[in-house]
């Protein structure tokens, strides 16, 4: 899907006005995106709980998304969609199987090396911070470019039942937030009301534990950008 195509989907402003919306209206359309609101909430709560770098990065990405939605919305309203529509060729369709296998093995080895090396760094140290921020930024850049695969959109009964997943995720988030707010201080863990972070501290205290958690994080990230 192109930028303009996404904008038409993302921006209700473009559907109700004949001319291009003002920058303010287009930015408000971006601000109304649920994901942007979630990122802003994460930025707020992360910052007040003593992680200003996390909060800054979330805020930066949310702001970029708002500007991107605004820019795309204005382009779509100007009728740019037809001119820029294109269909990407499936990636790697001409590669042969042994080569693909070799590339996959190389990525796997690089991933294992990353987990072992970064897992050996102390938590919250600058080397660990740099390694995680670098990988996070790389994945966000890949995600920004576009989906690597086309999938069948949900419709009918499965689409109507998406709320079940939303309910599970919101329940987990509310539980975590409740525990966070019941701590003696936002930066001090509570034994009686542990957050998920507090519960995982014993695992993350050792190098193998950190490597294992990093491995899970890496696999999840790869799964996401390949959707």
Partner 1 sequence: MSSRDATIIGYLTVLAAGITLQAAAIRRPDRLPSLGRVLSQVMQSRTGRVGVVVAWAWVGLHFFAR
Q: Tell which positions 84-103 bind partner 1, by CB under 8 A.
A: none
Answer for the pair 175, 181: CB distance below 8 angstroms, yes or no: no
Q: Taking CB under 8 A as the rule, which mask of x and - marks residues 52-91 in contact with partner 1?
A: -xx--xx--x---x--xx--x-------------------
Start-to-end CA span in the chain (Å): 14
Nearer CB in complex with partner 1: 19/124: 124
Rounded Cα distance, 108 and 222, in Å: 11
Least Cβ distance, residue 188 to partner 1 (angstroms): 15
The tokens describing 138, both together, are 């790389």
Stretch that binds partner 1, among 19-27, 91-99, 103-111, 138-146 (CB under 8 A): 138-146
| 172 near partner 1, judged by CB under 8 A | yes
Of 76, 215, 224, 199, the C-alpha closest to 140 is 224
Binding flag, residue 134, partner 1 (CB under 8 A): no
Tell me which residue has tokens 């996959």: 104
Closer to partner 1 by Cβ: residue 105 or 129: 129
Residue of 84, 82, 78 whose CA lies nearest to 21: 78
Nearer CB in complex with partner 1: 93/126: 126
28 lies in the binding site for partner 1 (CB under 8 A) = no
What is the rounded distance in angstroms from the CA atom of residue 66 to the CA atom of residue 26?
8
Interaction between residue 40 and partner 1 (CB under 8 A): no
Alpha helices in 78-149 (DSSP H): 81-84, 97-120, 126-145
Asked if residue 48 binds partner 1 (CB under 8 A), the reply is no
Decide if residue 128 touches partner 1 (CB under 8 A).
yes
């Amino acid at each position: 899907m192109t930028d303009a195509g996404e904008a038409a989907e993302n921006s209700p402003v473009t559907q109700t006005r004949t001319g291009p919306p003002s920058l303010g209206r287009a930015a408000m359309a971006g601000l109304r995106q649920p994901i942007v609101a979630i990122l802003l909430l994460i930025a707020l709560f992360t910052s007040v709980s003593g992680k200003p770098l996390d909060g800054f990065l979330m805020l930066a990405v949310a702001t970029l998304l708002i500007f991107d939605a605004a820019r795309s919305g204005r382009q779509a309203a100007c009728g740019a969609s037809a001119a820029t529509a294109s269909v990407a060729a499936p990636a790697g369709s001409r590669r042969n199987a042994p080569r693909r296998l070799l590339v996959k093995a190389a990525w796997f080895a690089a991933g294992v090396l990353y987990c072992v090396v970064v897992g050996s760094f102390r938590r919250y140290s600058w080397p660990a911070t740099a390694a995680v921020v670098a990988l996070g930024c790389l994945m966000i850049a890949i995600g920004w470019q576009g989906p690597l695969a086309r999938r069948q959109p949900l419709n009918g009964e499965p689409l109507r039942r998406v709320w079940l997943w939303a309910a599970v995720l919101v329940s987990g988030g509310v539980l975590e937030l409740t525990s966070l707010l019941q701590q003696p201080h936002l930066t001090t863990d509570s034994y009686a009301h542990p957050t998920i972070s507090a519960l995982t501290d014993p695992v993350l205290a050792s190098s193998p534990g950190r490597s294992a958690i990093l491995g899970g994080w890496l696999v999840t990230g790869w799964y996401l950008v390949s959707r």
